[in-house]
């Protein structure tokens, strides 16, 4: 839309109520590449067919999709080329717009709004074509100017494609790196089966889950979390939350030093509160937080000590139904230092399973806007536990089928920690 | 799917002057920056006792908490102040309970009590 051959030289100065003289209009047309080769006599005839108009700041001249038969020259002021709220460009004195629709009779490809009081010269399609009919040699500069515009558009498109590919490659690298922050293979624990799935809504995710052995207390760490927001920002914080929680649980101070405990509840509390305090103190300006369920499981006895920091309550369930909901025991982490978190405990009995999920699963919507819902997720989970097999993989497939062709708007994560019937009861 | 957020601002005379932001609509990922901006304007004008009146908020997502945290930060940078919450609906109270707002903000069921508490 922007004229590639922006005119040089002084633009006519606007004075309230003033009109351009015939000579001035001739000069405006001549400076525009479209009419560079138009013979003088034809240009004078064309100038006589122009109309000068003033558009008040904020006024929209035409909308994308409107049928238009005129092209315009900006004499003074600023014109915004846009589609809704997206601004494609701004045009000032000496620039031309609307020529494609004017020459082809097609709908306007963008909307045009004056940013301030603007003075325009308008030329109708009919005037252009009648001039071309009388003076066919005038077509040459018109075609040349259109070709130059086309070349510019192709160049810009090519640049955008290249920039888009570079960004896409960067995102793929980010995606691969982020994958390394999730368990590569599910840990093998005698008498238990551990499983987790994560499906990002975009290329990278703000959800996370983790399984890792904590030798200091002989327990398995079980984590599921959801960083607020989505996309790259959430993904960066996901790696931070996940790493600090894991490091907080695994880090051993030298023997005899204060601040570390062999008591799993104390260790868990330290790992979580130190993560909260660090992020709240260091990254306050980002206002990013995560809901986290963090438990330490004794594989011998089935005892699970846990903190639920603002996360959807995981459940302990069998095929017969949900036996316990592990409600929140403290606020989400990452915003304010020194918040209080209570450690709770529950025993996972032989045949029972701990099921954790993020709200991307329950809030997933189908084409009619209905939510998958917590009720359906939990009842499908209980049925899956009864049937055996890969419960969370099957559940993810169910949620995906439910979403169908609509957009998945949030990351979906689910974990299942299941105690086999034959395991020792401790 | 989401409703726009409208914010009206007025002053209340408690023990200290309190700037009240009356919110109506959805406080979500599309609108939370509007709240940040409006509260930012009040803080820039010298208000340091802010009350969010939420009775007109039908939906609040986690972005609401981000906005409130960011307002707390602005108050801190402006030399200190208080941000309190009044009259959340049942739906908003539920999400605030899950996220653990009670440890982060002073929440009042009654508007008058909230104003008096400053």
Confirm if A102 and A69 have CB atoms less than 8 A apart: yes
CB B44 within 8 A of CB B76: no
Tens-binned pLDDT, residue by residue, of chain A (426 aa): 444 444 444 455 555 567 888 888 888 888 887 887 778 888 888 888 899 999 999 999 999 999 888 999 999 999 999 998 889 899 999 889 998 888 888 899 899 999 999 999 999 988 888 888 877 777 887 888 888 888 888 998 999 999 999 999 999 999 899 888 999 888 899 999 999 999 999 889 999 999 999 998 999 999 999 999 888 999 999 999 999 999 999 986 544 455 556 899 999 999 999 999 999 999 999 999 999 999 999 999 999 999 999 999 999 999 999 999 999 999 999 999 999 999 999 999 999 999 999 999 999 999 998 999 999 999 999 999 988 778 999 999 999 999 998 988 899 999 999 999 864 444
The answer to whether the CB atoms of A287 and B99 lie below 8 A apart is no
Rounded to two decimals, the pTM is 0.78
Look up tokens 């699970």; give the residue: A304
Which domains are present in chain A? 22-158 (2.60.120.10), 180-419 (3.60.40.10)
State the best of B76, B94, B99 to mutate against chain A, taking most chain A CBs within 10 Å. Answer: B99
- Chain B residues with CB-CB distance to A289 below 8 A: 62, 65-66, 69
Contact assignment for B62 to A287 by CB distance below 8 Å: no
What is the domain class of B6-116 according to CATH?
alpha beta
Which residues on chain B are in Cβ contact (under 8 Å) with A310?
A: 98-100
Which three-class secondary structure state does DSSP give residue A43? helix
Q: How far apart are CA B39 and CA B74, in angstroms?
A: 9
Instruction: Tell me which chain B residue has its CA closest to the CA of residue A284.
Output: B73
Largest CA distance in chain A: 104
Q: Is B99 on the interface with A (CB under 8 A)?
A: yes
- Of A113, A96, A129, the closest CA to residue A29 belongs to A96
**A–B: how many Cβ contacts below 8 A?**
54
| Option in B62, B103, B104 nearest A228 (CB) | B62
Chain A interface, mutation test: which of B27, B98, B101, B105, most A Cβ atoms within 10 Å? B98
Nearest-Cα residue of chain A relative to residue B94? A310
Under 8 Å between Cβ of B63 and B32:
yes
Q: Do B100 and A289 touch (CB under 8 A)?
A: no
- List the structure tokens of B95: 């999400």
Beta bridge partners of A213: A220
Contact criterion met (CB < 8 Å) for B100 and A285: no
Q: How far is CA A311 from CA A178, A292, A326, A366, B96, in A?
A: 22, 5, 9, 24, 12
Q: Residue A253 CB: number of other CB atoms within 10 A?
A: 10
Q: Are B56 and B88 in contact (CB under 8 A)?
A: no
Q: Which residues of B touch A369 (CB under 8 A)?
A: 1
Q: Determine phi and psi for A12, rounding to 5 degrees.
A: -65, 140
Q: Does A338 touch chain B (CB under 8 A)?
A: no
Q: Does B78 touch chain A (CB under 8 A)?
A: no
ipTM: 0.91
DSSP state letter for A322: E
| Cβ of residue B98 closer than 8 Å to a chain A Cβ | yes
């Amino acid at each position: 839309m922007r004229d590639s051959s922006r005119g040089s030289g002084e633009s006519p100065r606007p004075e309230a109520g003033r009109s351009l003289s015939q000579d001035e209009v001739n000069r405006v047309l001549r400076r525009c590449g479209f009419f560079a080769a138009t013979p003088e006599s034809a240009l004078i005839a064309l100038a006589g067919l122009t109309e000068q108009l003033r558009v008040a700041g904020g006024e929209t001249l035409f909308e994308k999709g409107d049928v238009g038969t005129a092209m315009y020259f900006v004499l003074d002021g600023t014109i915004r080329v846009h589609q809704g709220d997206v601004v494609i460009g701004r045009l000032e004195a000496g620039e031309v717009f609307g020529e494609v629709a004017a020459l082809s009779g097609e709908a306007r490809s963008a909307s045009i709004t004056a940013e301030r009081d603007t003075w325009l010269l308008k030329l109708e399609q009919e005037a252009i074509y009648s001039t071309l009919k009388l003076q066919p040699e005038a077509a040459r500069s018109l075609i040349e100017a259109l070709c130059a515009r086309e070349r510019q558009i192709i160049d810009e498109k090519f640049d955008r494609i290249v920039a888009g590919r570079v960004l896409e490659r960067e995102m793929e690298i980010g995606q691969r790196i982020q994958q390394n922050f999730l368990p590569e293979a599910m840990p093998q624990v005698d008498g238990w089966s551990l499983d987790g799935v994560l499906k990002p809504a975009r290329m990278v995710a703000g959800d996370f889950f983790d399984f890792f052995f904590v030798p200091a207390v002989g327990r398995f760490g079980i984590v599921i979390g959801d960083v607020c927001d989505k996309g790259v920002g959430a993904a960066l914080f996901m790696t931070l939350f996940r790493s600090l929680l894991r490091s907080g649980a695994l880090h051993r101070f030298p023997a005899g030093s204060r601040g570390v405990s062999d008591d799993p509840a104390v260790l868990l509390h330290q790992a979580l509160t130190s993560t909260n305090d660090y992020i709240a103190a260091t990254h306050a300006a980002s206002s990013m937080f995560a809901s986290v369920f963090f438990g330490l499981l004794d594989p011998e006895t089935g005892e699970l000590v846990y903190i639920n920091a603002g996360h959807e309550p995981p459940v302990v369930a069998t095929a017969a139904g949900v036996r316990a909901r592990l409600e929140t025991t403290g606020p989400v982490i990452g915003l304010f230092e020194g918040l209080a978190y209570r450690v709770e405990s529950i025993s996972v009995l032989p045949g029972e399973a701990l099921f954790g999920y993020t709200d991307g699963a329950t809030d997933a919507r189908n084409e009619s806007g209905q939510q998958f819902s917590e009720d359906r997720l939990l009842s499908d989970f209980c049925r899956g536990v009864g049937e055996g097999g890969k419960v969370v993989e099957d559940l993810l497939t169910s949620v995906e089928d439910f979403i169908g062709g609509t957009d998945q708007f949030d990351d979906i994560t689910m974990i299942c920690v299941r105690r086999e019937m034959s395991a020792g009861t401790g | 799917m989401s409703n726009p957020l409208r914010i009206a601002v007025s002053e209340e005379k408690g023990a200290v002057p309190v700037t009240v932001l009356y919110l109506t609509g959805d406080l979500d990922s599309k609108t939370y920056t509007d709240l940040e901006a409006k509260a930012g304007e009040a803080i820039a004008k010298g208000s340091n006792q802010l009350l969010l009146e939420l009775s007109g908020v039908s939906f609040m997502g986690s972005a609401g908490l981000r906005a409130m945290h960011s307002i707390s930060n602005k108050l801190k940078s402006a030399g200190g102040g208080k941000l309190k919450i009044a009259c959340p609906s049942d739906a908003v109270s539920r999400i605030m309970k899950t996220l653990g707002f009670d440890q982060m903000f002073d929440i009042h069921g009654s508007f008058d009590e909230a104003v008096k508490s400053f």
